[in-house]
Amino acid sequence: MKIGIIGLGLIGGSLAKAYKEVGATVLGYDSDNITLDYAQIAGAIDEKLDDDNMKLCDLILVAITPKKAIEWFREKSPLLSPNTVIIDCCGTKEFVCRECFPVAKKYGLTFIGGHPMAGKEKGGFKNSSKDLFRNAPFILVPETACDMELLMRVKGMLMLAGFGRVGITTGRNHDKVIAFTSQMPHIISNAFIKSETALTDSQMISAGSYQDFTRVAYLDEHMWSELFLENKENLLYEIKGLVNKLKQYEEAIEAGDRSELESLLSEGKKAKLKVLEKCGPAQLNGE
């Protein structure tokens, strides 16, 4: 099996290493020649992906930012084979799929939106790992969910990289959920760590919750700002909802109203239990 990887950062580099681990031939491309050469020297890719050999790939995974992924697909579509499955790995889906589905149709190609639900706080090829996707979900956004033979074939190719399960949804639903499960935690963590208290004795006088809460504050501002703005409607809905809820806690504490505070805390605890009952411990998660 031949796998093409566009972008050899954390996600693309990890995909390359995972597929190499199971014996696939991996062709890779990165706009940074140093990263590209390093990936080849490190054995993460067998050769560089170019306009001539990309048509030989069974699967091409596009692991770059949404706008760059769309530009790449538009430019390279005339050179791609209809036998190749192309999946983007971007963090938002509605915008990418809306732009890429018509291009795929024009050239008779198979394009599926995708999102590997795993990551780390630090990006780049140097932080990539063959085990990053071990048992992680991979979300697919096909133009139509009717071709079950294709979807099962794609599922098989993805699970070779270690993914534990493959889910199917729409771009709209994906972006609504991801605003809550991934984008909000990054924004909250990033804003929270700006407190001047963080520079005092926060490391010594803290437990696991502080470390967990601030882990994703360290992020790639260029990539995440693009994702946030592309999903701004869903993200603003969640931000405004949280601000309103925090205001309730603030008012109860300011007023010294223990009864109201206990009520708010109890509501949150019950909400957590409802989520666990409905979704189980393995909720949709990722970076």
Q: What is the DSSP letter of 39?
A: H
Bigger pLDDT: 278 vs 74: 74
Give the distance from CA 3 to its chain's centroid: 19
Give the distance from CA 200 to its chain's centroid: 33
Asked whether residue 188 carries a pLDDT value surpassing 70, the answer given is yes
- Over residues 10-22, the pLDDT tens digits come to 999 999 999 999 9
**What pLDDT was estimated at residue 286?**
45
**What pLDDT was estimated at residue 281?**
60
Among 117, 114, 97, smallest CA distance to 155 is for 114
* Cβ(21)–Cβ(130) below 8 Å: yes
pLDDT band of 200, cuts 50, 70, 90:
confident
Single-letter residue type at 12? G
Q: In the numeric block, which tokens belong to residue 160?
A: 């070779």
Q: How far apart are CA 247 and CA 239, in angstroms?
A: 12
Q: How far apart are CA 122 and CA 35, in angstroms?
A: 16
**What pLDDT was estimated at residue 201?**
75
**What pLDDT was estimated at residue 122?**
87
Q: At what angle do helices 184-192 and 232-254 cross, to 10 degrees?
A: 50
φ and ψ of 164, to 5 deg: -85, -30
59-62 β-sheet, strand order: 47-48, 25-29, 2-6, 59-62, 85-88, 110-116, 137-141, 165-168
Strand 110-116 with 137-141, pairing? antiparallel
68's enclosing H/E stretch is helix 66-76
Asked whether residue 147 carries a pLDDT value surpassing 90, the answer given is no
Strand 137-141 with 59-62, pairing? unpaired
254's enclosing H/E stretch is helix 232-254
- Over residues 24-72, the pLDDT tens digits come to 999 999 999 999 999 999 999 999 999 999 999 999 999 999 999 999 9
**What pLDDT was estimated at residue 271?**
96
Q: What is the DSSP string of 158-212?
A: HHTTT-SEEEE--HHHHHHHHIIIIIHHHHHHHHHTTSGGGGSSTTTS--HHHHH
pTM (2 decimals)? 0.90
Q: In the numeric block, which tokens belong to residue 179?
A: 């605003």
Q: What angle do CA 81, 86, 88 make, to 5 degrees?
A: 155
**What pLDDT was estimated at residue 285?**
44
Q: Which residue has the tokens 């935690």?
A: 185
